[in-house]
Amino acid sequence: MIPDLDPKGLTGAAVWYDCQVTNTERLALAYLHAAASAGADCANYVEATGVRLHGGQVRGLHARDQLTGDTFEVRARTVLNAAGPWVDRFLQSVPAAATVRRFHPSKAMNLVTRRLYEGHAIGVTVPTAFRDSDALINKGRRLFFVVPRKQYPLIGTRHLPFQGDADAFQITEEDIERFLGEINAACPGAALSRADVLAVLGGMLPEMPRRDSNQVQLVKHSHVCDHAADGAAGLMSIVGVKWTTARHTAEQAVDFVEARLRPGAPPSRPPERPLPGGEMDEVARFLAREEALRPAGLSPDAMRHVLETYGTTYPEVLGYVERDASLGGEVAPGCPVIGAEVVYGVEHEMAQHLGDVVLRRTALAAGGHPGRQALCRCAELMGTVLGWTPERRAVELDRTDAALRGAPAVSRH
């Protein structure tokens, strides 16, 4: 089934079937769309700088508009601190709550490379002295996956120690080279070099407080903390661990908040419904049916991409193409992202900087730097909507180009 897999030392194999999220940024945005449709107010580039307290009771937040520098207040009876790796920084405004560190960050990294092992995800192992204290047996090996994801495979996840402030996070060249060495040792047929790495995805995950500075023991379970005992009744913090359990963790957090606001009342349970874009019974049937409706001027690859990216909400994107056929053109050669996605990201998803669209609203940089011409096209489209001056466009281009070419992590998750 995988003819280019090195057979040396291979004694057997098993096949199993799993699900895949090809774009976690789009999944996060689907949650935001769902929240907004249910009545939530969402604000991008607004920083929560501290808690408003009166007599030990939360009264809301102090906030700052990061685009204008304006400061203002948000009134609330309850505040849920879900700031991820920055959860402890936010708690500095409540001295008693800041005495205990709740998020001990570790590095997590994945590599996007040239194509490997077409059609299947494979698991490979490398020897390690690390022992997971939660595991039933010690296998003495670390497991990596090589997962096909659109045109390019994703390899990982490698976990590394990290010290310092979350804003100083980066994946270093040494980290990448070390990881490549481990992958090639486990899978000699891959023969990956640094030149084969098209993109590096990096982020921070919570780990257990470390005794060994070279080993990472990840936190396995999310938790919600009530800061009433710290003199901040109505303030809660949540530390999550992974996408797989995020939905359940969110439900726990909302139940926790509701119990404080409505003591003794049973948790409310609205009817379950698909996320925006997921209102379909069967994906393959949906794709086959809707592909037949491809508008003139849109390539088959672009149509398939829009359907897979936006699901049943795709008409909102193609509506731009109906009004302006030029927005149906691909932004970069060989990449199915179309101009309409850029405008949609600005007008419906609060994109304010070029990097918002390139790295987080579209898949334009999924295979690495899309090229200066593609960035210029995105900046032109965004600038038209947002009224950018030529000077502002130049700043956005240089900043995004540097992020894609520079030190060396191109995306944070």
User: Taking the CA atoms of the chain, what radius of gyration do you get in angstroms?
Assistant: 23
**Alpha helix locations (H) across 210-313?**
246-261, 283-291, 300-310
Question: pLDDT at position 175, please?
Answer: 94
Pairing of strands 235-239, 141-149: unpaired
pLDDT value of position 406: 65
- Candidates 300, 302, 296; CA nearest to 325 is 296
In the block, tokens 């359907």 appear at 307
Residue 128 has a pLDDT of 67
Q: Cα-flanking dihedrals φ and ψ of residue 46, to 5°?
A: -115, 120
Q: What region does 84 belong to: left with phi over 0, alpha with psi -120 to 50, or beta?
A: left
Interatomic CA distance for residues 357 and 346, integer angstroms: 8
pLDDT of res. 136: 54
- The DSSP code sequence of 112-137 is EES--STT--EEEEEE-----TT-SS
Q: What is the pTM of this model?
A: 0.90
SS3 content of the chain, % helix, strand, coil (to 5): 40, 20, 40
283-412 topology per CATH: Helicase, Ruva Protein; domain 3 (1.10.8)
d(CA 236, CA 82): 9
- Give CA–CA dist 45/263, Å, rounded: 34
Give residues with Cβ within 8 angstroms of 222, minimum separation 6. 238, 239, 240, 241, 245, 249, 252
The domain locations on the chain are 43-102+220-261, 105-206, 283-412
Question: Any residues with CB less than 8 A from the CB of 244 and at least 6 apart, and which?
Answer: none
Amino acid at 152: Y
Give the type of residue at 358.
Answer: V
What is the helix (H) or strand (E) element at residue 337, kind and residue range? strand 335-338
The set of residues, in sequence order, having a beta carbon less than 8 Å from that of 332 and lying 6+ positions away, is: 364, 370, 371, 373, 374, 377
pLDDT at res. 6: 76
Instruction: Give the pLDDT confidence score for residue 409 in this predicted structure.
Output: 39
d(CA 131, CA 112): 27
Q: What is the pLDDT along the chain (413 residues), one digit of tens a residue?
A: 887 777 877 888 888 888 888 889 999 999 999 999 999 999 999 999 999 999 999 999 999 999 999 999 999 999 999 999 999 999 998 988 888 899 999 999 999 999 888 778 888 887 765 556 566 555 557 888 999 887 788 999 999 999 888 989 999 999 999 999 999 988 888 899 999 999 999 999 999 987 766 788 899 999 999 999 999 999 999 999 989 899 999 999 999 999 999 998 888 888 889 999 999 999 999 999 999 999 988 999 999 999 999 999 999 999 999 999 999 999 998 889 999 999 999 999 999 999 999 999 999 998 899 999 999 999 999 999 999 999 999 999 999 999 998 644 344 43
At 91, give phi and psi (nearest 5°): -75, -5
Give the list of residues 6+ apart from residue 365 with CB closer than 8 angstroms, or none. 199, 358, 359, 404, 410, 411
* CA–CA separation, 73 and 50 (whole Å): 10
Superfamily of domain 43-102+220-261: FAD/NAD(P)-binding domain (3.50.50.60)
Rounded distance between C-alpha atoms, residue 94 and residue 75, angstroms: 17
Q: What is the reported pLDDT for 151?
A: 79
What's the CATH number for 105-206?
3.30.9.10
Domains 43-102+220-261 and 283-412 share a fold: no
Q: List, in order, residues 6 or more apart from 350 with CB less than 8 Å away.
A: 42, 43, 44, 45, 356
